[in-house]
Amino acid sequence: MYKSIVFDLGGVMIDFDPRGYLVDRLCNAETEEEVYDLTFGSEEWKLLDAGLISRFDGNHRMLEKARAAGRAFEVQGVLDDWLHILRPRHRMEELVRRLKSHGYCVYYLSNIPQDVLDLLRDRGVLNGFDGGVASCEVHINKPDPKIYKALLDKYSLKAEECVFIDDRLENVQAAFALGFAGIQMKDSVGTLVRSLATCKVLKDAGLSPIFSISLWNSRRMSSG
């Protein structure tokens, strides 16, 4: 029986689509890929997520590499502007409230820089959760198993009693390997509520479809 639902933040609880943002901003596939690699896909971004460098140092390093690649103008524009793509998904917040009203504990587990975590706290995005673990606070990024274990240990949870929801398959696979049930959220077909019902979470609760997902290992989930 599942007792706890664990959510990623970016791409699940909030809109975060850096590649789509760069397509709209740059309108050139080659430039988009270069700028992505220099920003969101960079080693510096991973260090920011892990809380191992400050935003000031991270941006400085990214800009240094961008200058060397001839992309300083594009990268500076992205670093100045990108935060506006973070928008709370209000129907997800509604789902969190509904889960709690049905007796489930709800947590977050996210790769996220400290300044973005602070921003989400200030906006009240995390208010509905019973707790959570952020990569910047434990200095570990998903899909490292240690960050999942940090969540389990912090709240005395059992993996086999948790459903984990993330937009990245490798993160869902890592959770599954530790005993979690897993749902990979996508932007295409399906509904989260229907998939939660597959593992008997909110079954027959009268919830309408929320957004598109795909189920990771439906046999594992239906056995819960």
Q: Taking Cα atoms as reference points, which of 153, 119, 116 lies closest to residue 135?
A: 116
Alpha helices in the chain (DSSP H): 18-26, 29-38, 43-49, 55-69, 72-81, 90-101, 114-122, 135-138, 145-155, 169-177, 192-198, 218-222
How many percent of the chain have pLDDT more than 90? Answer: 78
* pLDDT above 70 (res 63): yes
Q: Which residues of 86-123 are buried (b: 16+ CB within 10 A; e: fewer)?
A: beebeebbebbebbeeeebbbbbbbbbbbebbeebeee
Q: What are phi and psi of 66, to 5 degrees?
A: -65, -40
Which residue in this structure is represented by tokens 């809109």? 15
Mean pLDDT of 71-85: 96
Q: Is the pLDDT of residue 211 over 70?
A: no
Encode pLDDT of 168-191 as tens digits. Answer: 999 999 999 999 999 998 753 336
What is the pLDDT at residue 176?
Answer: 96
pLDDT number for residue 207: 44
**What phi and psi values does residue 6 have, to the nearest 5 degrees?**
-115, 125
In the chain, where are the structural domains located? 4-15+87-222, 18-85
**Residue whose token pair is 């937009």:** 167
What's this model's pTM, rounded to 2 decimal places?
Answer: 0.87
Looking at residue 210, what is its pLDDT?
A: 35
Domain 4-15+87-222 in this protein, CATH class: alpha beta
* Section 45-55 average pLDDT: 98
Going across the sheet that includes 4-7, the strands are 131-134, 105-110, 4-7, 162-166, 181-185, 213-216
Beta carbons within 10 angstroms of residue 6's beta carbon: 28
* 81-129 residue pLDDT tens: 999 999 998 888 988 999 999 999 999 999 999 999 999 999 999 999 9
Each residue's pLDDT tens digit, 37-49: 999 999 999 999 9
Contact yes or no for 66/169 (Cβ under 8 A): no
Instruction: Over range 139-164, report the average pLDDT.
Output: 98
